[in-house]
Amino acid sequence: MNALLLAALALIDAAFAGFRAYAGRDGRIRKSGPTRSAALRGLTIGALALTVTSAFTTAVLLLGGNPAVRYAELDAAAGRMLLVHAPYTAIVAASLACYFWGPFRASTLAVVIGLGPLTLLRPLVVLVGAVAAAWGSLPAAAVAVAASAGVLLVEPLTHRKWYAHPV
Amino acid sequence: MPFLEISDLVVDHDPRTLVRLPVRRADVVARLRDAGDLRGARIAAALPCAPDGTLDPVAVDRRLVAVHTELQRLSEELRLGARVAEVLRPLLAALRAGEVAGPLRVVDVGCGLGYLVRWLAASGVLGPGVDLVGVDFNAALIGEADRLARAENLDCRFVRGDAFALPEPATVYVSTGVLHHFRGPALDAFFAAQAQSSPLATAAGTAATPGPAAFCHFDIAATRLAPIGTWIFHRARMRDPLGRHDGVMSARRTHDDATLLKAAARAEGLVPLVYEPRTRSNPFCTTVRPVLGLRPDLVPALQTALDRTASGRLTGDLADVLARPTPRTAR
């Protein structure tokens, strides 16, 4: 269950990473279509990263002695990672709600104290999540590093592949 | 020490003929070093240049267009268009109720990529009968603004040159993020110049006093939060180090409300006002705010056109903008 929640979070994050990879590259005013396309591209890269991580996790699970014991170890690690990511996700979701549904002064507030700083903090949160997951477990450390690297690579890969130059 | 923006230093032109002048990279680097800006100097030193040491104009233009496109992202995220429209719509309503003849012409001074003009054209928020014009000295930015407007078939146009010397008079001058580029006497001259621009005709067909009916210039609100907020925001949202550098510098150069109000008084025949000064706004909700000037007869009409809450954000009282904000007065 913890792993599924993390996978869902990773895919949502990948869609936002796709948007960020595109943002600032297109000077047009009306661009909801290209924005959706960017989110889908991020999602695609994110899904590929998740597939690689899943394959790696499966290998760790199956190649290391008792699978049931290893599964419990990895599930506990995923739980620790979720404990770090869940509050961050909740604050981002609240900021986004304020941004999209609030009047523009509230949306400015959401950007100034929420979305802007949270984007800067995102790599740190991913890092802390990885450390929490890796704590006391070498197999979990390997999976956490792979998963976190996958999450952090989505935006630069999407940017480099599709948005290296202004649209 | 002065705060310099690299993008101000890398392009030069003859003010009379608008012919582009070569810029030596070493001169740009030296100016930044002299200002104590070693990071800026490093960024400038990496700009491509010809064997004679002059900056490559094609590369500079490409870089500036890319940086301004990134900058537009910030305007989009902070809903700059809606913020400007909140003031511009009632302002135009006041003008329509007055005796200004013909189409209302809104001229964006130093428009860059023309985001505001294009957003106003795309949203139609100002209603029909409004001529939207963007003006800038930079040929590359004006060219890109025009290309983007044509790509979306927007009803607006872009002109390279002096906004205060257009053949057709402006009804309202607007700008976003331009004021901090002028310091001291140059800021006074900026406001004085628009008051002397081509006169508008009145409904009776007679030439009125020179200058527009109003101006509305937005710039970064000078709050304690602005420098750190700008750093965070540019760091989080912009990739180009030149854009990040200039964004942070612009927040350091921004004028406080009192300075703008005093400078706006140089525009003869127009009443200076500030909307959402520091004393009447929450710095977390107001990242940019305008200084306005309008003909005296339009002031009551504007206050009527603004709703009650918005009208309370408008002041021309220097003592008011100099007052220390308190939780009771901060809105």
B307 with B183, same domain: the answer is yes
Q: Is residue A167 part of a domain?
A: no
Q: How many domains does chain B have?
A: 2
| Residue A161 burial (CB count, 10 A) | 12
Q: Do B233 and A111 touch (CB under 8 A)?
A: yes
Task: Please tell me the total count of domains within chain A.
Answer: 1
Same-domain pairing of B300 and B239: yes
Could you report the per-residue pLDDT of B266-278, keeping only the tens digit for each?
999 999 999 988 8
Q: How far, in Å, are A12, B71, B274, B276 from residue B113 at the CA level?
A: 32, 10, 26, 26
Distance from CA of A25 to the nearest CA of B (A): 6
Q: Is residue B331 part of a domain?
A: no
Q: Residues of B at the A interface (Cβ-Cβ below 8 Å)?
A: 65-66, 68-70, 72-73, 77-79, 82-83, 86, 113, 115, 118-119, 122, 144, 148, 151-152, 154, 225, 229, 232-233, 235-239, 282, 284-287
pLDDT digits (tens, 9 = 90+) for B157-210: 999 999 998 888 899 999 999 999 999 999 999 999 988 876 665 555 545 556
Residues of B in contact with A32 (CB under 8 A): none
By percentage, how much of chain B surpasses pLDDT 90? 68
Q: Is A6 part of a structural domain of the chain?
A: yes
Examine residue B188 and state whether it is found in any structural domain, yes or no: yes
Same domain, B140 and B180: yes
Contact A105 B282 (CB under 8 A): yes
Q: Are residues B140 and B50 in the same domain?
A: no
Count CB pairs under 8 A between chains A and B: 76
Query: Domain check: are B36 and B81 in the same one?
Result: no
- Segments forming the whole domain that contains residue B286: 68-322
Q: Does A108 touch chain B (CB under 8 A)?
A: yes
Comparing CA positions, the residue from B285, B115, B250 lying closest to residue B178 is: B250
| Residue-level pLDDT, tens digit, chain B, 331 residues | 689 999 999 999 998 899 999 999 999 999 999 999 999 999 999 999 999 999 999 999 999 999 999 999 999 999 999 999 999 999 999 988 876 767 899 999 999 999 999 999 999 999 998 999 999 999 999 999 999 999 999 999 999 999 998 888 899 999 999 999 999 999 999 999 988 876 665 555 545 556 788 999 999 999 888 888 889 989 999 999 999 999 999 999 999 999 999 999 999 999 999 998 888 888 888 889 999 999 998 999 998 888 877 878 888 877 777 765 544 433 3
**Domain co-membership, B15 together with B81:** no
Same domain, B108 and B170: yes
Q: Is A109 in CB contact (< 8 Å) with chain B?
A: yes
Q: Are B56 and B93 in contact (CB under 8 A)?
A: no
Instruction: Examine residue A141 and state whether it is found in any structural domain, yes or no.
Output: yes
Which helix (H) or strand (E) segment holds residue B290: the answer is strand B288-294
Q: In chain B, which residues have their Cβ closer than 8 Å to the Cβ of A166? A: 65-66, 69
B82 and B111 in a single domain? The answer is yes
One domain, residues B157 and B273 = yes
Q: Are A75 and A2 in contact (CB under 8 A)?
A: yes
Whole-angstrom Cα distance, residue B57 to residue B49? 8
The whole-angstrom distance between residue B231's C-alpha and the CA centroid of its chain comes to: 20
Q: Which residue of A has its CA nearest to B283?
A: A109
Using the predicted structure, report yes or no on whether residue A93 has a pLDDT greater than 70. yes
Judging contacts by C-beta atoms under 8 Å, the chain B residues touching residue A104 are 79, 82-83, 86
Which of chain A's residues have a Cβ under 8 Å away from the Cβ of B66?
A: 165-166
A27 with B287: Cβ contact below 8 A: no
What is the least distance, in Å, from the CA of A102 to any CA of chain B?
12
- In a domain, residue A157? The reply is yes
What would the pLDDT profile of A31-40 be if each residue is shown by its tens digit? 999 999 999 9
Specify if B1 maps to a domain.
Answer: no
Place of tokens 């490559």: B56
Instruction: Judge if B48 and B111 occupy the same domain.
Output: no
Question: Is there a single domain that holds both residue B75 and residue B23?
Answer: no
**What are the two backbone dihedrals, phi and then psi, of residue B29, each rounded to the nearest 5 degrees?**
-60, -40
Rounded Cα distance between A88 and B231, Å, is 21
Q: Which domain holds residue A13?
A: 2-162
Tell if the CB–CB gap between A166 and B154 is shorter than 8 Å: no
ipTM of the complex: 0.88
pLDDT of the residue at B198: 67
Domain containing residue B137: CATH number: 3.40.50.150
Q: Is residue B60 part of a domain?
A: no
Cα(B153)–Cα(B141) distance, rounded to whole angstroms? 18
Indicate whether B119 and B187 sit together in one domain.
yes
